[in-house]
């Protein structure tokens, strides 16, 4: 079953003096349960693509279908709700909130959800942090954690709401090779054992080879 489908996606960024064609006629289908890598040189549009799949940014042309629903033209409210319930993001630079502790950072995606009680949320947050080996860091602040620990907190936040789709933009880019390998093991576990669909941007050929498929970009276009 196709869980992600991009049809004729174009993205042009316009600033005062220059137009950038960040993506041009991109067509991609990803099946539920696939682990796909996106590769290509700096500036070729990989993060733009991930932001569009993740409904954080809109294409200037084309359609994006997630789980069969066309997201083009939906209201921001509908998009936020869909994003909150179905998508988990992992960014290269973690994007943790410095003034919130580990539990509060991880609980963020759940606070926008209705119907779940506080105690249940706390339990979910604790469970996922314990699974990621952070059970003894619940009340630390991001500035009191190592890079690898920050990335695991970011992963906990991405998966706490059980999203179907995980989008990871260079998730190991700021980690040493050992910590990076741990994060990759975790992503493979989420894919293999929990059936999550993963789209990962990476500059690492070896990591990409371990995924089901590599989509290569050059200058805003798919080349392979
Ligand atoms: N908000 C923006 N406004 C204007 N131009 C932008 C904006 N975001 C990205 N661009 C331009 O779009 C192109 C694609 O950028 P993008 O961030 O998607 O590249 P990337 O493949 O993720 O690169 P990297 O590997 O360095 O992260 C670049 O030329 C960039 O300068
Ligand atoms: Mg990028």
Range of the domain at 189: 33-56+73-213
Query: For residue 219, is it within any domain?
Result: no
Instruction: Tell me the whole-structure pTM to 2 decimals.
Output: 0.92
Query: So what's the pLDDT on residue 137?
Result: 97
Report percent pLDDT > 90 for the chain.
Answer: 80
Closest CA to 201 of 76, 66, 49: 49
Query: So what's the pLDDT on residue 11?
Result: 98
Q: What is the DSSP string of 13-50?
A: EE-SS-EEEEEEEEEEEEETT-EEEEE--TTSSHHHHH
Name the closest-CA residue to atom 26, ligand 1: 42
Compute the distance from residue 91 Cα to the ligand 2 centre, in Å. Answer: 9
Compute the distance from residue 49 Cα to the ligand 2 centre, in Å. Answer: 9
Name the closest-CA residue to atom 27, ligand 1: 42
d(CA 39, CA 34): 16
Number of domains in the chain: 1
188: part of which helix (H) or strand (E)? helix 177-192
Looking at the CA of 48, which ligand is closest? 1
Q: In what order do the strands lie in the sheet with 35-39?
A: 87-90, 165-169, 197-201, 35-39, 213-218, 221-222
Q: DSSP letter for 130, please.
A: H
Query: For residue 111, is it within any domain?
Result: yes
Q: Kindly report, residue by residue over 37-79, the tens digit of the pLDDT.
A: 999 999 999 999 999 999 999 999 999 999 999 999 899 999 9
Query: For residue 160, is it within any domain?
Result: yes
Looking at the CA of 40, which ligand is closest? 1
Query: For residue 83, is it within any domain?
Result: yes
Ligand 1 contact via 11 beta carbon (within 6 Å): no
Query: For residue 197, is it within any domain?
Result: yes
Query: For residue 107, is it within any domain?
Result: yes
Compute the distance from residue 42 Cα to the ligand 1 centre, in Å. Answer: 8
Ligand 1 contact via 45 beta carbon (within 6 Å): yes
Query: What CATH number is given to the structural domain containing 146?
Result: 3.40.50.300
Query: For residue 146, is it within any domain?
Result: yes
33 burial level (CB within 10 Å; 0-12, 13-18, 19+):
middle
Query: For residue 116, is it within any domain?
Result: yes
Compute the distance from residue 72 Cα to the ligand 1 centre, in Å. Answer: 21
All residue ranges of the chain with pLDDT < 50 are none
Query: So what's the pLDDT on residue 115?
Result: 65
């Amino acid at each position: 079953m196709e869980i992600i489908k991009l049809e004729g996606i174009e993205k042009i960024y316009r600033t005062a003096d220059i137009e950038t064609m960040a993506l041009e006629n991109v067509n991609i289908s990803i099946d539920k349960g696939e682990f796909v890598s996106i590769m290509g040189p700096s500036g070729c549009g990989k993060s733009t693509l991930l932001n569009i799949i993740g409904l954080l940014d809109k294409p200037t042309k084309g359609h994006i279908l997630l789980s069969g629903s066309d997201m083009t033209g939906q209201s921001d409210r509908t998009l936020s709700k869909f994003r909150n319930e179905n998508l988990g993001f992992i960014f290269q630079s973690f994007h943790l909130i410095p003034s919130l502790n580990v539990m509060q950072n991880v609980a963020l995606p759940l606070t926008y959800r209705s119907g779940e009680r506080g105690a249940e949320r706390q339990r979910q947050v604790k469970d996922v942090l314990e699974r990621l080996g952070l059970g003894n860091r619940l009340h630390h602040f991001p500035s009191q954690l190592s890079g690898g620990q920050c990335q695991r907190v970011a992963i906990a936040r991405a998966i706490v709401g059980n999203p179907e789709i995980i989008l990871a933009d260079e998730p190991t880019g700021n980690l040493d090779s050992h910590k990076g390998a741990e994060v990759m093991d975790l992503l493979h576990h989420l894919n293999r054992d929990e059936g999550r669909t993963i789209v990962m941007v990476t500059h690492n050929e070896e990591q990409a080879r371990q995924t089901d498929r590599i989509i290569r970009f050059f200058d805003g276009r798919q080349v392979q």
